[in-house]
Amino acid sequence: MMELQDGAELCFPQLFNMSCRKPTLRWSETVPLNLLLFFISLTTIAINLLVIISVSHFRQLHTPTNILLLSLAVSDFLVGLVLMPGEIFRSTSCWIFGDIVCTLYWYLDCQTLTTSVSSIAIISADRYMAICYPLHYSKIITFRRAKYCVCLCWLCSFVYSIFYMRDELIQPGSGNSCFGECVLMISYITVTVDTILTFIFPVTVIIVLYMRVFVVAVSQARAMRSHITAVTVHHAGTLSKKSELKAARTLGILVIVYLSCLCPYYWYSLNMVNHTVATFFVFLFYFNSCLNPLIYALFYPWFRKAIKLIVTLQVLQPGSRETNIL
């Protein structure tokens, strides 16, 4: 996204050799790309904000599953509001906000992304319980327990982020080689442990649970088909096949999108790549926060109805919280 060349101006001329050089940008490449990234950022903010308003406002949507969706939407909203614009600015301009703000930026990065990944794993566990143990789901997964689970998720992410950022929190700006730079230097051991805890383990959990969900959904569809009377065998077979295909398609989208956005980032974390490629991988990682609400919320009919009520400002009317949204 940027190139440093000899003769480039300094970020802080008064500091001479201690200052970073200003990035030399190519207008034809940088401006269209930044416009695209800002559009993705605004889209991420808007869609996740709609999820937050919908679940928070309508009382009928106060369910355990939607509380988990709300947690995911809040973390993804912060990604679009802070991390995406911050990455654009950090990659194309001199960092003028100081070492403390830089450290807070990286801490928020670790906190929100860890919470987002954890929320996805918890949602997969919730769907596993709902489909594989439907008779016991309402007793095991209650609204109060879902709230406790969300609070625990954010608390664990908070503590983990402190551990991950311990060196930077003790000495802000220790990874910067000059003034006007905002980078995070983490040891290879820490990065490896982080990859295991925030990528390999959650991905394994998600894949195993969703594969189990898929197997159970297919077996239930076949069981229903086998009990249909001979008169409606053909019709039932058609419906069950559609259910199997829909389940496979949905689960495939969830897993493929998640892995497509996260795998390149964690590969980049363990390998040295050039600046342009690194920036692309980071934004691909952030782009998952834009896709999450599309996958987890837009597939629900209640969300489409909620959007209509929010956009038309009907949520401002008295008693709108009690609207039949389902």
**pLDDT tens per residue across span 100-132:** 999 999 999 999 988 988 888 888 888 888 888
CA angle (135, 136, 141) in 5-degree steps: 130
Which among 101, 27, 50 has a CA at the least distance from the CA of 296?
50
**63-77, 254-268, 297-311 — most confident range:** 63-77
Please indicate, yes or no, if residue 6 is contained in any of the structural domains. Answer: no
Which among 159, 226, 157, 158 has a CA at the least distance from the CA of 198?
157
> What is the C-alpha separation between 99 and 94, in angstroms, rounded?
12
Which of the pair, 279 or 105, is modelled with greater confidence?
105
Mind listing the pLDDT tens digit for each residue in 28-79?
A: 566 777 788 889 999 999 999 999 999 998 888 888 888 988 998 999 999 9
Q: Do the beta carbons of residue 56 and residue 310 sit within 8 Å?
A: no
pTM for the full predicted model: 0.83
Q: Which conformational region is residue 129 in: left (phi greater than 0), alpha (psi within -120 to 50 degrees), or beta?
A: alpha
Tokens of 226: 């086998």
Please indicate, yes or no, if residue 3 is contained in any of the structural domains. Answer: no
CA angle (257, 36, 301) in 5-degree steps: 50
State which residues form the domain around 216.
Answer: 13-322
State the angle between helix axes of 233-270 and 188-195 in degrees (0 to 180), rounded to the nearest 10: 170
The stretch 165-183 carries a mean pLDDT of 84
Please indicate, yes or no, if residue 5 is contained in any of the structural domains. Answer: no
Please indicate, yes or no, if residue 108 is contained in any of the structural domains. Answer: yes
User: Confidence band (pLDDT; 50, 70, 90) for 225?
Assistant: low
Q: Do the beta carbons of residue 69 and residue 51 sit within 8 Å?
A: yes
Please indicate, yes or no, if residue 187 is contained in any of the structural domains. Answer: yes
Please indicate, yes or no, if residue 55 is contained in any of the structural domains. Answer: yes
Tokens of 280: 């692309």
pLDDT at 156 over 90: yes
Q: Do the beta carbons of residue 297 and residue 71 sit within 8 Å?
A: no
Q: Is 21 helix (H, G, I), strand (E, B) or coil?
A: strand
Number of structural domains, the chain? Answer: 1
Which among 26, 66, 68 has a CA at the least distance from the CA of 300?
66
Residue 117: alpha-carbon gap to chain centroid: 6
User: Confidence band (pLDDT; 50, 70, 90) for 9?
Assistant: confident
> What is the C-alpha separation between 300 and 320, in angstroms, rounded?
20
User: Confidence band (pLDDT; 50, 70, 90) for 2?
Assistant: very low
> What is the C-alpha separation between 285 and 278, in angstroms, rounded?
11
> What is the C-alpha separation between 52 and 229, in angstroms, rounded?
45
The stretch 226-250 carries a mean pLDDT of 50
- CATH number of the domain at 43, please: 1.20.1070.10
